[in-house]
A and B are shown apart, each in its own frame.
Chain A
Amino acid sequence: MAWELNSDRPIYAQILEKLQVRIVCGVYPPGEWLPSVRDLAAEASVNPNTMQRAFSELERSGLVITQRNMGRVVTQDTQMIEAAKHKMAVTQTESFFTNMRQLGFSDSEIVSLVNSHTNDTNNANHAVVSNER
């Protein structure tokens, strides 16, 4: 199944993000081997050179380390992975706020919406749990 890619941004940048998510979520755990460029390119249905470019960026950021002639492993530096995770969370939050402001909400309204949403979700989860009981 080809990866879902947007049409308006460079492909390598989108692939880079998807690989970062996989590392941060532990799909590729710290210290583990990554699939080969060719396999991942086939999985994503993208050009191998594009995949290679995304890998090079990952190496530059330090999240991925190349073992000469053997392949690539995820860094064992869990702090670095946590930092990457935090950075992605900040980006997501910023874009959420930007979108909500475009809809005309003030920051305090957004926060109260978020609070009521988390309450609703918690209640819904409780409801599911009590139903199961």
Chain B
Amino acid sequence: MNEQYTTAAPLLQINDLCKRYPNMGNYMSVFHMNLTIPRGRIIGLLGPNGCGKTTLIKMINGLLAPTSGAVYINGMFPGAESKRVISYLPERTYLENGMKVRQMIDYFADFYADFSKEKAYSMLESLGISPEARLKTLSKGTKEKVQLILVMSREAELYILDEPIAGVDPAARDYILRTIITNYNPNSTIILSTHLISDIESVLDDVIFMKNGSLMLYTSVDAIRSQQNKSVDAYFREVYAC
């Protein structure tokens, strides 16, 4: 059953990727980015505001077209096939406010073959969210939790989470991180962007530092700690000191 994972192509490969937004002059949001992401890793995508994290993520998900360069997921361009491979949590909510949580779960189960309703309901229960609640009655943080539950209930190969923990309380944050750890499987990779580095540092294998649209550093958390004698959080504050 593991045969499908022995394909030669890396899970995610990014070649000389650039993105220029036309109405922003010559400003390059992503600038000659090269990156190869293997399976079985939990990776933090870090960088100051406006450094191109979300633009990069949107190109990986096929929501933005690159100005030049290319993204390959399992050797394929982003498209319908890659959406089967990637479970994506966008930076803002796209759920239909009038729907109940239960309807949202049915909707996802209908849409994605790899969606596990059982997993979704068990996570809802752990976080004390009623499946009968309508989304518009939920607080901002609870909505974010629902959305993350939907994304994490898939058996995807690549999870891309854009700011997954920013709006939720510390206790739920711990639960979410534990969920990420217990769901870990050596055939899939999780990329998550965040500013809350100290909260997630011990959960990460590797970190990607971006600066002005370029890749600045791609290394392991323990490499930073042993070479710099400081946490990734402290190192980030030093590297990006204003």
Contact = CB atoms under 8 A, between A and B. Distances in A.
A8 interface: yes
Given A42-B181, A45-B174, A8 B230 contact: yes
Given A7-B234, A45-B177, A50 B202 contact: yes
A87 interface: no
Interface residues of B, number: 24
B225 A9 contact: yes
A19 to B, nearest CB: 15
Given A7-B231, A11-B222, A46 B182 contact: no
Given A11-B222, A11-B225, A50 B205 contact: yes
B222 A45 contact: no
Contacts of A45: 174, 177-178, 181, 202-203
Interface string A64-108: 000000000000000000000000000000000000000000000
Contacts, number: 66
A59 B98 CA distance: 55
State the majority secondary structure of interface residues on B: helix
Interface in B132-150: none
B40 interface: yes
Given A8-B229, A10-B226, A12-B222, A48 B234 contact: no
Contact of A50 (B198, B222, B226): B222
Contacts of A10: 222, 225-226
A59 to B, nearest CB: 18
A11 B202 contact: yes
Contacts of B40: 49
A131 to B, nearest CB: 41
Closest 5 CB pairs of A and B: A7-B231, A10-B222, A46-B202, A10-B225, A10-B226
Given A2-B202, A8-B230, A47-B42, 17 more contacts: A7-B201, A7-B225, A8-B225, A10-B222, A10-B225, A10-B226, A38-B184, A42-B178, A45-B174, A45-B181, A45-B203, A46-B202, A47-B202, A47-B205, A49-B40, A49-B205, A50-B222
Interface of A: 2, 5, 7-13, 38, 41-42, 44-50, 53
